[in-house]
Structure 1
């Protein structure tokens, strides 16, 4: 049995090779650039009005002759002599002969005569060509995760497709004879299956969209065949249940026959001790505990960082956050623990119902607090290691 840190190190050293693809801008949402993007144009591509007002040929008087109008999108230009002005709207092209732009709030107009309050300064309220970015300059660096603002920026540069790291497709294999589909009558000895939809929801929360679920009974051949199908079709496979040492836990044997290399099996932690990680042909396989809270804990701590890493995101396995504990906590455990917790007003509180089978407090948690094994006390306001579990 290995430690949590050893499990992190093993995963880090066995990540699959990153895959690349070209996507349309919307398809690239929440994906990571695999190459840097340079601007194909100046932005703005012309001298541009920063607001509604009047573009003027500056002279030493406070009155100007209005000779025309330019709206956003107009291609018409004017040659302004000193003392002449054109009415102009936000985003419209400013004539090359205009020397300043005066906001509409600072002028008065009588017929075709414009009166200003003071002599304007050169280039006032005019966005110069390339003010935001010049042609050939770096627009977005490799490794940038594309959010709405980044996508809008690229669209404004006329870019329609981008090179990104391909997000892995994920197959979820749920095992267990005791599982019933929610909505069917609950019979004695059965429980409703929740891990599959829970994992799919967690994947969708993290913007992993290519997900499929498979159900398998506790039978060796069925388990092996379903796992083989999932491995053939997906980049990452998540198995729920069947990885322990019971008479009807067939996952480990099936993975062995499918020549899945064991990276580790069993981690000195609670919940989630039975966790398995393996690899075959650049495919990653995680066999997660069947108990729901243990399953979700292992997903957030091990699976999600792995998925992010093989999607090109820069993320760490080790938690980088420490927060003060809201209350005293006594630790008495031979295994490291991931405790369901809630961050409020900059402090973190440990929640009730910590059993590996219980999701009720996990549903209100927004963090996991990691505590090392041993017998000791943590005092109120003492800093503890915190893993965030909600985006």
Structure 2
């Protein structure tokens, strides 16, 4: 058995990286850029009005002669003389001969072609300069940046419809257990609903994995060996849920050894999630997670997520950690490290009730994992603890 810190060091040593792939922008959400992106244009590509109002060529008087109108999308190019103005709308191109846009609330229309400006006019006010947001050739986003809705929108404003990203690994989730049935079907006595597979699939989708298949295997040695073999052939990452402990019907460890999976580590001195396995077969990555749902999800966030993120080339491949004061006193007598479900508050972090490894309700309410290293058994209110942000 190894410590949490030793297990995390093994995770940090992984060097697998996915190949590059060109994808449509509409399919790029949560993907990680494989190259720097340089802006192909100035943005905005012309001097742009920030308001509905009047573009003017300023002179000494507040009276101006109105000579035309420019709407957004127009390509009219007026050459304004001093004392002339055009009606202009938000987003429209500002003539080069204009040195300010006056908002319409500060302008009185005297007749069809004359206006009066109330107050002082500042040079270049309400004009977005050429390339204000980004200039042609500048780096828009960098390799390793993860694409979110805002960054996708930003790239679209630059005219880009495709990006080069790291190809997401093909992942298989294998859940084991005779007692598991799918949600939506009636339960017989002794059965429970399978939640781990769709939970892990959802977490992988959130990371940007597109191909995540789910498979089931009964608690049988021969079928477990065969299922592991076929899934290793067809996938780059295999995640097994359940069957990795030392019970009479836990066959996953044997099946992995039978299929020549090299063990990197097995069993971590932590709670929940002690019977955690991580291994490799050539370039393929294999995780066997505990069957208890909260234990499985804890192991995913702490160990598996950083591996997937690093394979995708993400700059920040692990979840953010910070130190926050505990909201209440906490006593712990065990020797293993703890990952407790918690919720951040204005003044620190609180430990939620219901920490059983079989319970997901608390996890659904939590936004953090609180790491208790096991080196200290008593924590007073206000003591600093390490907090992993999961939301």
TM-score by length of 1: 0.93
Q: Deviations over 1:235-289 (max 9, x none)?
A: 2211011112223222112212222111111111111111000112322110001
1:138-149 paired onto structure 2 within 5 Å: 138-149=139-150
Tell me the distance in 1 between the aligned counterparts of 2:262 and 2:76: 69
The 1:126/1:195 distance shift into structure 2, 3 A limit, reads closer
Q: Does 1:129 align with 2:134?
A: no
Q: Deviations over 1:178-229 (max 9, x none)?
A: 2222333333333322221222233334443421100011122221222223
Tell me the distance in 1 between the aligned counterparts of 2:386 and 2:259: 38
Pick which of 43-52 and 316-325 moved more: 316-325
Q: Is the Cα–Cα contact under 8 Å of residues 61 and 119 in structure 1 kept in the other structure?
A: no
Following superposition, the deviation at residue 375 of structure 1 comes to: 6.6
| Structure 1 unaligned blocks of 5 or more | none
Pick which of 67-76 and 9-18 moved more: 9-18
Q: Is the Cα–Cα contact under 8 Å of residues 60 and 119 in structure 1 kept in the other structure?
A: no
The 1:100/1:327 distance shift into structure 2, 3 A limit, reads closer
Tell me the distance in 1 between the aligned counterparts of 2:334 and 2:387: 18
Q: Does 1:169 align with 2:170?
A: yes
Q: The residue matched to 2:279 in structure 1 has which SS?
A: strand
Q: Is the Cα–Cα contact under 8 Å of residues 32 and 143 in structure 1 kept in the other structure?
A: yes
The 1:319/1:72 distance shift into structure 2, 3 A limit, reads closer
Following superposition, the deviation at residue 117 of structure 1 comes to: 3.0
1:34-183 paired onto structure 2 within 5 Å: 34-109=34-109, 110-118=111-119, 120-183=121-184
Paired position in structure 1 for 2:195? 194
The 1:261/1:87 distance shift into structure 2, 3 A limit, reads same
Paired position in structure 2 for 1:245? 246
| Structure 2 unaligned blocks of 5 or more | none
Following superposition, the deviation at residue 71 of structure 1 comes to: 0.8
Paired position in structure 2 for 1:19? 19
The 1:190/1:123 distance shift into structure 2, 3 A limit, reads closer
Q: The residue matched to 1:267 in structure 2 has which SS?
A: coil
The 1:288/1:59 distance shift into structure 2, 3 A limit, reads same
Q: Is the Cα–Cα contact under 8 Å of residues 306 and 319 in structure 2 kept in the other structure?
A: no
Q: The residue matched to 1:284 in structure 2 has which SS?
A: strand
Q: Is the Cα–Cα contact under 8 Å of residues 8 and 318 in structure 1 kept in the other structure?
A: no
Tell me the distance in 2 between the aligned counterparts of 1:247 and 1:112: 92
Following superposition, the deviation at residue 382 of structure 1 comes to: 0.6
Tell me the distance in 2 between the aligned counterparts of 1:362 and 1:257: 35
Pick which of 81-90 and 115-124 moved more: 115-124
1:225-244 paired onto structure 2 within 5 Å: 225-244=226-245
Q: Is the Cα–Cα contact under 8 Å of residues 18 and 312 in structure 2 kept in the other structure?
A: yes
**Deviation above 6 Å: which 4+ runs of structure 1?**
none
1:275-314 paired onto structure 2 within 5 Å: 275-314=276-315
Pick which of 26-35 and 345-354 moved more: 345-354
The 1:279/1:346 distance shift into structure 2, 3 A limit, reads farther
Following superposition, the deviation at residue 98 of structure 1 comes to: 2.2
The 1:85/1:354 distance shift into structure 2, 3 A limit, reads closer
